[in-house]
Chains A and B, each alone.
Chain A
Amino acid sequence: MTAKIKEFPGISLSEQDFAEGKILYNFDKLNGIYAWDTGVGIGSYLASLKAGVILGSHCSTCRKIVVPPRTICEWCYRPMDEFVPLKDTGTINTFSLCYVTWDVQRIKEPEIPAVINIDGASPMHGIMHMLGEIDPKDVKIGMRVKAVWKPVEDRQGSINDIFYFKPIKEK
């Protein structure tokens, strides 16, 4: 089929076409405001963050402790047995050095997102957060890190109650 067709449809425009006024367009913005009910699972997670604790939940059937906590175990489909406070230290599962922000701005010092396996949870169970107080060149998968918390009075019950995770030296 492609062997027989000479010209495929689709006309390409460039930014220049817009700048020169060749293309008519209109501009619109959505005002989308949502207030998501956090429910029991995530509600407890946020309340614990405010108290300076990373919370997980335990399923005795699957013998797993997971984080973030939920009320039901997605593997055996039963309610979780209890919430479990975890440590605020962990191991880097994977990371990246990002030189572009979410709205496509170039930055000089990279943001360092990471997935951190949290101590106290089952292996390979963690959360996404940022790394800080570390030279980008030194970050390695397997590094040990610890949460740096906001002062108690500034915490709001949000994932941002932790500023970032920083490396720890373990003996």
Chain B
Amino acid sequence: MGMRKVAVVGAGMTKFVRRALETPKELTWEAAHMALGSCEMTMDDIEAVCFGTAPDAFDGVHLNGEYVSDGAGAWRKPYMRSYVGGGTGVFVPIQGWYHVASGLFDVVMVVAEEKMSSFYPHAQAAFLTIFDHTTERPLKPNLLWIFALEMNRYMTTYGISKADIAQVAVQHKRNAADHPCALLGDADITIQDVLNSEVLAWPVQRLDVSPVSDGAVAVILAAEHIAKRITDKPVWIEGVGWHLDTSYWTNRDLAYPRYVEYAARMAYDMAGIKEPRKEINIAEPYDPFDYKALHHLEGLQLADRGKAPELYSDGTAARTGNMPVCPSGGLLGVGNPIAAAGLMKIAELFWQLRGEAGARQVPGQPRRGLAQAWGDLMQVGTVVIMGR
């Protein structure tokens, strides 16, 4: 069909920590520097930079994209920052993709960074301002409400228990014990630990949540003719998709993320995938809360509605199962520096599909993976499909 092929050829990331010493520019530089080093390139080879970071409110800097631009290597280069809330981590590689697929650029660096710890007393408070300023903010809403309201609706609609959901937190945090950058990896956590943890906003409990973190991730994208020269194992971006639902979230059924479905269909169409459950070897859905992974797996058409917990209970989602889910450990295990967390999934698929994921490696030479992120007021789905 004449579409220009684009591959991921390098990746780098920092540790995800609760509060980093490094400034946003330094964190960004660390990840970008590592990504360049991983494929033996320098900034001279990079033709454009795409940057993603979540709300300016966290860093306490207006026009934050401009502020961090030099840390991302955008000095005297075409630079753009894209922004779809939590979906940004998987959107910014899509932005990099269209930079290269348009034919305007051959090599692009994609960076995502988050420094949430700058906000006092706690980054969570910054989320007050994401609600509608006239119809919702006067109620002093809390970020936790969004998730709790959605989780409750999901559980009640399909009759899913907290124990079903807790499996996800357990599996992801155990997976993360093998991730060198992980903040919350725990090889010994159990379902009971999750169910005994402090109730924050019922039905959400502390261990259902991935806490705020600082961190940065970078990947390098290249057009086909360059990718083949740089590495003998390029990982191709086979499909991309993104959809944004209406802002009137109280007029929607929260039990099912239809915007994730549409984003996934867009990506599957582009990748020529007809039977996702058979053709996707690794899934990295967005898991800031444990029930979200289930919610998204259903939206991604990788499980029937209300049936995603079975992927965990029957072993399909384990690293050695038929369709490993979040072998990285996901946000629940590695940490949640919002935009960087999404890009971490892309980096994970890059390493997994090249057989370089070390202790986290999914066996059997996986060929195709899917990364998905979500954000806003339960509104946006961003999907990237990668393959070898």
Contact = CB atoms under 8 A, between A and B. Distances in A.
B3 interface: no
Interface residues of B, number: 68
Contact of A38 (B134, B199, B248, B351): B134
A113 B20 contact: no
A51 interface: no
A100 B144 contact: yes
Given A124-B251, A129-B139, A159-B135, A98 B21 contact: no
A104 B123 CA distance: 9
A96 B148 contact: yes
A5 interface: yes
B149 A95 contact: yes
B136 interface: yes
Contacts, number: 179
A83 interface: no
B268 to A, nearest CB: 25
Interface in B247-266: 248, 250-254
B34 interface: yes
B201 A158 contact: no
Contacts of B17: 10-13
B121 interface: yes
A159 B357 contact: no
A94 B150 contact: yes
A98 B142 contact: yes
Given A96-B144, A159-B134, A3 B22 contact: no
Interface string B150-192: 1011001000000000000000000000011100000000000
A92 B184 CA distance: 35
Interface in A48-101: 66-68, 70, 74, 93-101
A163 B30 CA distance: 50
Interface string B344-358: 000000110010111
A110 B139 CA distance: 14
A45 B141 CA distance: 20
Nearest to B216: A10
Interface string B5-35: 0000001011111111110000100110010
Contact of A23 (B21, B179, B180): B21
B149 A94 contact: yes
A1 B9 CA distance: 11
A8 B204 contact: no
Interface string A121-158: 00011111110000010000100000000000000001
Given A2-B351, A10-B16, A94-B150, A126 B199 contact: no
A103 interface: yes
Contact of A159 (B60, B139, B248, B252): B139
Interface residues on chain A, size class? 35 or more
A12 B139 contact: no
B246 to A, nearest CB: 5
A110 B361 CA distance: 43
B278 interface: no
Contact of A4 (B136, B152, B153, B356): B356
B331 to A, nearest CB: 16
A53 B215 CA distance: 48
B201 A141 contact: no
Nearest to B33: A9
Nearest to A45: B135
B345 to A, nearest CB: 14
29 contacts: A2-B358, A9-B22, A12-B15, A12-B17, A12-B20, A13-B17, A27-B120, A30-B60, A36-B133, A66-B251, A68-B248, A93-B250, A93-B254, A96-B145, A98-B145, A98-B201, A99-B200, A100-B142, A100-B200, A102-B127, A102-B128, A102-B143, A111-B142, A113-B141, A115-B250, A126-B251, A128-B135, A159-B134, A160-B139
Interface of B: 11, 13-22, 27, 30-31, 34, 38, 60, 120-122, 124-125, 127-128, 133-136, 138-145, 148-150, 152-153, 156, 179-181, 199-204, 214-215, 246, 248, 250-254, 350-351, 354, 356-358, 360-361
**3 nearest A-B residue pairs (beta carbon):** A96-B148, A10-B15, A3-B358
Interface of A: 1-5, 8-14, 23, 27-28, 30, 34, 36, 38, 42, 45-46, 66-68, 70, 74, 93-104, 110-111, 113-115, 124-130, 136, 141, 158-160
